[in-house]
Amino acid sequence: MSEQEPGPVFGRDPSTRVAFLLSQVGSMAASQFADRLADLGLQPSDIGILRLILLNPGMSQQDLASKLGVVPSRVVSLVDGLESKGLVERRRSTRDRRNQELHLTEYGGQIMGRMRDIGSAHERHVVQALSEDERLVLGELLAKVAASHGLAADVHPGYRAAPPSSP
Amino acid sequence: MSEQEPGPVFGRDPSTRVAFLLSQVGSMAASQFADRLADLGLQPSDIGILRLILLNPGMSQQDLASKLGVVPSRVVSLVDGLESKGLVERRRSTRDRRNQELHLTEYGGQIMGRMRDIGSAHERHVVQALSEDERLVLGELLAKVAASHGLAADVHPGYRAAPPSSP
DNA sequence: TATTGTTATACTCTATAACTATA
DNA sequence: TATAGTTATAGAGTATAACAATA
């Protein structure tokens, strides 16, 4: 977001500017989620990492770097931040002492528990204007678009150098 | 994004993670649009500004700053970039010599003409997996969500300090 | 020699605040 | 005194490349 999404230059009805609307609404959803996390002193990027470690305990920093699509040196500073907050623990592997095995601390696990509530409150707020049926349809259409572009089900593409924005 | 959207920690079916999907797909759409613009040496933020100037010829930098929601000093550097590329012209106002009146150059107008094609190619690519009916429905649902959160029809929220990402 | 993680460094982006010129 | 724009400066974030430890 950094961010900047231009705006549709063309069509005026929603069906001819779906790409812009996706970017615009997606950016809004992302920044509202960031606001909720700020109360915990966390950033959206932190949650993505905590979640991957929760699902893959003991994963190495290289694993994490390749899943996120970022450079290893960036993982160092991201994990540094989480470790200094007491959420993540590095354990030097005994089988290959070059590797760090990443684990959530007990506190990190608690935070992920609280994330459930934060996430569902966020979800409800974002789609508050839609009926239950509409939410279902929107979710299915978005999942279809996501799949057609090869997006992994649980990794956000925003870890890579994010341009300010776009339609 | 910069960029980072965590990933859904909760539900597994699309209708319980619409917020994450919005952020994920929106980020993807934004970065694909940025890729298309890079061929022209432009960034998504540039297009949003060119479009506002096209729609409001002679607007001041203060006007622009308040529409975009950014600080005036940032407008200076954004306009500097567009002026150095020959897309925008600053004309010192004769009625109040403190103001700069912003105008597209002829070349700037041509670029906005080419944007029409770039934008519609981008649109087609993003929603390629959907039928015509599905595109219509998706556009309407997104417009409804956007309106419910007070998003201006043609200004991208990404100009403000964009966090890496979020659901 | 190759790999994991780390550090050092530089670059970009953005905001804050001080400044100029106009009013 | 107040406003539009600019400049100077500092901070955050990220990438590249060099490095240490281990294999």
Minimal C-alpha gap between A49 and chain B (Å):
7
Tokens of A156: 């956000």
Quote the pLDDT of residue B127.
98
Q: Give the residue among B47, B19, B21, B18 at the shortest CA–CA distance from B34.
A: B47
Give B154 or A147, the one with higher predicted confidence.
A147
pLDDT at B3 over 50: no
Query: Which contiguous run of DSSP H or E holds residue A73?
Result: helix A72-84
Q: Is position A7 within any domain?
A: no
Contact A22 B21 (CB under 8 A): no
Paired strand residues for A102: A90
Q: Is position A36 within any domain?
A: no
Q: Is position A22 within any domain?
A: no
Q: Is position B99 within any domain?
A: yes
pLDDT at A7 over 80: no
Quote the pLDDT of residue B82.
97
Question: Per residue in A106-145, pLDDT tens?
Answer: 999 999 999 999 999 999 999 999 999 999 999 999 999 9
Contact B158 A128 (CB under 8 A): no
b (16+ CB within 10 A) / e for B40-62:
eebbbbbbbbbbbbeeeeebbbe
Quote the pLDDT of residue A39.
87
Q: List bases in chain C with any atom under 7 Å of a protein Cβ.
A: 3-8, 13-18, 21-23
Minimal C-alpha gap between A95 and chain B (Å):
30
Q: Is position A24 within any domain?
A: no
d(CA A39, CA A61): 27
Q: Is position B23 within any domain?
A: no
Q: Tell me how far CA of residue A60 lies from CA of A99, B65, B108, in angstroms.
A: 6, 44, 49
Chain B residues 70-109 within an 8 A CB cutoff of chain A: none
Quote the pLDDT of residue B2.
34
Quote the pLDDT of residue A5.
42
Q: Is position B15 within any domain?
A: no
Task: Read off the CATH number of the domain in which B84 is found.
Answer: 1.10.10.10
Query: Cβ of B71: how many Cβ atoms within 10 Å?
Result: 10
3-state secondary structure of B42: coil
pLDDT band (50, 70, 90) for residue A1: very low
Question: Per residue in B112-124, pLDDT tens?
Answer: 999 999 999 999 9
d(CA A35, CA A30): 9
Structural domain range at position A108: 43-156
Q: Tell me how far CA of residue B141 lies from CA of A43, A140, A166, B82, in angstroms.
A: 28, 12, 20, 35
Question: Per residue in B26-60, pLDDT tens?
Answer: 999 999 999 999 989 999 999 999 999 999 999 99
Tokens of B91: 């004309």
Query: With a 7 Å cutoff on the CB, does B2 touch strand D?
Result: yes
Chain A residues 135-154 within an 8 A CB cutoff of chain B: 135-149, 151, 154
Minimal C-alpha gap between B96 and chain A (Å):
29
DSSP string, B62-126: HHHHHHHT--HHHHHHHHHHHHHTTSEEEEE-SSSTTPEEEEE-HHHHHHHHHHHHHHHHHHHHH
pLDDT at B129 over 60: yes
Chain A residues 37-66 within an 8 A CB cutoff of chain B: 37, 43-48, 50-52
A73 CA to C5 C1' distance (Å): 8
Give A9 or A37, the one with higher predicted confidence.
A37
Q: What is the CA radius of gyration of chain A?
A: 18
Q: Is position B87 within any domain?
A: yes
- Rounded mean pLDDT, A81-88: 97
Quote the pLDDT of residue B1.
34
Q: At A100, give phi and psi (nearest 5°).
A: -100, 130
The dihedral built from the CA positions of residue B15, B16, B17 and B18, taken in this order, carries a sign that is: positive
Quote the pLDDT of residue A9.
46
Tell me the pLDDT of chain B averaged across its residues. Answer: 88
Quote the pLDDT of residue B152.
85
Domain total in chain A: 1
pLDDT band (50, 70, 90) for residue A12: low
3-state secondary structure of B11: coil
Q: List bases in chain D with any atom under 7 Å of a protein Cβ.
A: 3-8, 13-18, 21-23
Question: Per residue in A29-78, pLDDT tens?
Answer: 999 999 999 989 999 999 999 999 999 999 999 999 999 999 999 999 99
Q: Which residue of B has its CA nearest to A148?
A: B129
b (16+ CB within 10 A) / e for A131-142:
eeebbbbbbbbb
3-state secondary structure of A13: coil
Lowest mean pLDDT among B66-70, B115-119, B154-158: B154-158
In chain B, which residues have their Cβ closer than 8 Å to the Cβ of A137? 137, 141
